[in-house]
Amino acid sequence: MIVLAHVGAPNIFFQIRNFDVPLMVMVSGMSFGLAFKGEPFVQYLWKRIKRLVFPVWLFLTLFFVSVYLFKPSKDYLNWEIIFTSYFFISGIGYVWIIRVFVLVALVAPFIYSQSNKTKHDALFLTQLVFIYVIYEICRYIFLPYTYDGLGRYLSLIVFYLVPYSLLFAFGLTLPKLKMKFNIQLLLYFSLCFVSLALYLWITTGSFVSTQNYKYPPSIYYFSYAIAVTLFLWLVGDSLLVTIEKYKRLNRIIIFVAHNSIWIYLWHIPLVKIIHLNFFFNYLLVFSIALMITFMQVSLVTNILIPALPNDKMKKNAKMILTG
């Protein structure tokens, strides 16, 4: 869905898929709840850096070296672009989502601990709502000061750390909630989105995309994303049964899930190179990124890892090159 957004999708498709980033954050919260082992924070953080930051830095290095060797361009080969790329600010584009995941990773163990300490899930969700209301008020007050200077850099941290951490916390809690309560939440967030959409339509004269309220995220953007995610969560078991009937499709989905970061990274140069109509753009970009990643994983798994001298190097190679 994120690749779909980057290949010139028509407005209707662009809006329909505009729940993808919050969905990823909420799913990461779900998976964190299953996988976290309570390891020391420094050890945990080092693993997250190797899994999130090192692959992107490796890719960016390959990208800039390739541009320098084959097609030198002032659009990419200047220090501001390079610096802001490696720090996931803007740069070549598309890497800001890594900043979100790194920021969320910093606080994930503390969110997990707070969730376990809170006796009732409803109380934990109430705490999340309270913090979000404070965030939304601050966003409204300080938004005019977030476009340049120090305010911009502070907003790139605070105004992304807080809301996406709350989404992460919601994802962490979601599997523990009863179906009836999830349905109630679905109705609430759907009503919230529709009400805000109608208000904006009346005040502007046309439908306003949730994309307009994504940087930094607001309740209009989140309400749509959470509503769709809750719907998918409620029908997820039925979807899973259907998918598992088709073994080849199931294998593809599992491969994409295991190697999503590299598929995402390889799509970046492709969207800059391929310029056809929307359908062929999407088909080619996603297919080629998938094939490159498949070849990379095959080479790493079958050639590189067996050639490495010890288990630690093998584990790190797998984490960085196939995660």
DSSP string, 111-170: HHHHHHH-S-HHHHHHHHHHHHHHHHHHHHHHGGGSSSHHHHHHHHHHHHHHHHHHHHHH
The CA dihedral of 13, 14, 18, 24, to the nearest 10 degrees, is 90
Same domain, residue pair 254 and 154:
no
- Which of 210, 129, 203 lies closest to 163, judged by CA? 129
- The per-residue pLDDT for 254 is 93
Does a structural domain hold residue 143? yes
- The DSSP string of 259-292 is THHHHHHHHHHHHHH--S-HHHHHHHHHHHHHHH
- Which of 135, 323, 284 lies closest to 222, judged by CA? 135
Domain coverage including residue 309 = 241-323
The tokens for 303 are 């050639």
pLDDT digits (tens, 9 = 90+) for 113-147: 999 999 899 999 999 999 999 999 999 999 999 88
CA dist 37 and 39 (Å) reads 6
Same domain, residue pair 229 and 265:
no
3-class secondary-structure state, position 45? helix
pLDDT beneath 50: ranges in the chain: none
- Which of 22, 70, 9, 23 lies closest to 232, judged by CA? 23
Q: Which of 187, 207, 234 is the last residue of a domain?
A: 234
Does a structural domain hold residue 3? no
The pTM is what? 0.94
- The per-residue pLDDT for 323 is 75
Does a structural domain hold residue 208? yes
Alpha carbons within 13 angstroms on the beta-carbon side of residue 306 total 6
Same domain, residue pair 311 and 216:
no
Does a structural domain hold residue 18? yes
Does a structural domain hold residue 212? yes
Contacts 24+ apart (CB under 8 A), 204-212: 209/11, 209/14, 209/15, 209/18, 210/15, 210/18, 211/14, 211/15, 211/18
Same domain, residue pair 166 and 227:
yes
The residue whose two tokens read 């409204």 is 140
The domain tally of the chain equals 2
Same domain, residue pair 161 and 227:
yes
Does a structural domain hold residue 227? yes
Same domain, residue pair 306 and 251:
yes
- The answer for residues whose C-beta is within 8 angstroms of residue 171's C-beta and 6 or more apart is 25, 26, 27, 28, 29, 30
Alpha carbons within 13 angstroms on the beta-carbon side of residue 56 total 27
Does a structural domain hold residue 1? no
Same domain, residue pair 271 and 207:
no
The residue whose two tokens read 């163990």 is 109
Does a structural domain hold residue 264? yes
Same domain, residue pair 249 and 176:
no
pLDDT digits (tens, 9 = 90+) for 8-35: 999 999 999 999 999 999 999 999 999 8
- The per-residue pLDDT for 77 is 86
